[in-house]
Amino acid sequence: MPIRLLVTLLAALLLTAPAAHADERPPEPSRDAFYTPPTPLPGGPGDVLRSRRVDWHPEPFRVFPAPVATHQLLYRSTSATGAPNAVSGTLLVPPVPWSNGPRPLIAYAMGTQGLGDRCAPTYRMRVGTEVEIAFLVQAMLKGWAVVVTDYEGLGTPGTHTYAVGRSEGRALLDAARAAQSLLGQTGTPVGAFGYSQGGQAAAFAAELQPAYAPDVRLVGVAEGGVPADLNEVAEFNDGGPGSGLVVGAAVGYATAYPELPLPLNARGRDVAGRVAEACVAELALLAPFTRIDSLTTVPGVIRDPRWQARLAENRLGALRPAVPVYLYHGTVDELIPYRTATGLRDRYCALGADLQWTALPLAAHITAVSVGGTNALNWLGDRFAGRPTTPSC
């Protein structure tokens, strides 16, 4: 089946698809009414508020739409504080039938895209600028459907609650619910996949699923490069080349939790304002080697008890995932310290989780997903097939 699907994909890309013209570029989310949710929000978590068929233009054939059924979604979810919200996403369904029970679904959580609405995967996929597509294609070559969440506030109105795991995990689980509804099938086996910010979202989906989404038939979670403890990640990156990400997380938390103080000075307001509109490449360049204390009027903001309480809520490893977990990390990761990954590993083992751990020697942050992502997807394939796990604990 994979070879036949690959031939179908390439043939449709190269022979049948019309070229896209510059004047056909869709409007950015801030100018697209699709992303504005109805008021008040109807339904419950995972309900589809609206959907539409669109073209997906993957690299390197960005002038051609991919021959897959591509649905943009706006669906109900829940914020980190329990409030109802609306999140956008994309469902991709490969063009071959699936006859072995319900078609498996990958709930795909993207790594850091940025905080600006134009960075939303639903938009970047349509215009051919989304770089994180290799694993989407690999999943569809196996005949699986894939649903991608934009997360809270990315595409939809408001600021993206970047790095807030409780919001991300719920958005991912509700994306799976919405996708199952559009697929028109029950009992859909779901595998969650994510790296970096996406690994955080997938990990939270694993921890939250039993209580938040018991109706989602989650069979396994593959997560890598996980920022499992943001106190550690912030300390590691503050004043270093990844300090723009720390500012982004500060903006995300202050948005998710309005009670959190973020007393910015003039430079801080300028940097935070630009961060709130930046995509990932710009984010890395906005405030490198900058300490948070140089952007605030009060030192040590995140040591405030209110910040510490919310960061503790979003620290992974407090709940045992009810499904098997594949966790991988590069030993020389320059953004998410290796000790953060081993700490999560140890907490899961102490809880009795069914965990398979893989350390990738001498792999940095991007190298680790390049080397380990395919193995993580194949591991999810074993979960779909009902094969036994090989726990590391």
Q: Give all domains of the chain, ordered by start, each with its CATH number.
A: 2-229+316-384 (3.40.50.1820), 234-312 (1.10.260.130)
Q: Give pLDDT, residue 206.
A: 98
Strand order in the sheet with 325-330: 48-53, 69-78, 84-93, 145-149, 105-109, 189-195, 217-224, 325-330, 355-360
Q: Give pLDDT, residue 320.
A: 98
**pTM of the model as a whole:** 0.93
Residue pLDDT tens, the chain, 393 long: 333 333 333 333 332 333 334 347 899 999 999 999 999 999 999 999 999 999 887 765 555 567 899 999 999 999 999 999 999 999 999 998 898 899 999 999 999 999 999 999 999 999 988 988 999 999 999 999 999 999 999 999 999 999 999 999 999 999 999 999 999 999 999 999 999 999 999 999 999 999 999 999 999 999 999 999 999 999 999 999 999 999 999 999 999 999 999 999 999 999 999 999 999 988 878 888 999 999 999 999 999 999 999 999 999 999 999 999 999 999 999 999 999 999 999 999 999 999 999 999 999 999 999 999 999 999 999 999 999 999 999
Q: Give pLDDT, residue 62.
A: 56
Q: Give pLDDT, residue 109.
A: 98
Q: Give pLDDT, residue 91.
A: 98
Q: Give pLDDT, residue 2.
A: 37
Q: Give pLDDT, residue 64.
A: 58
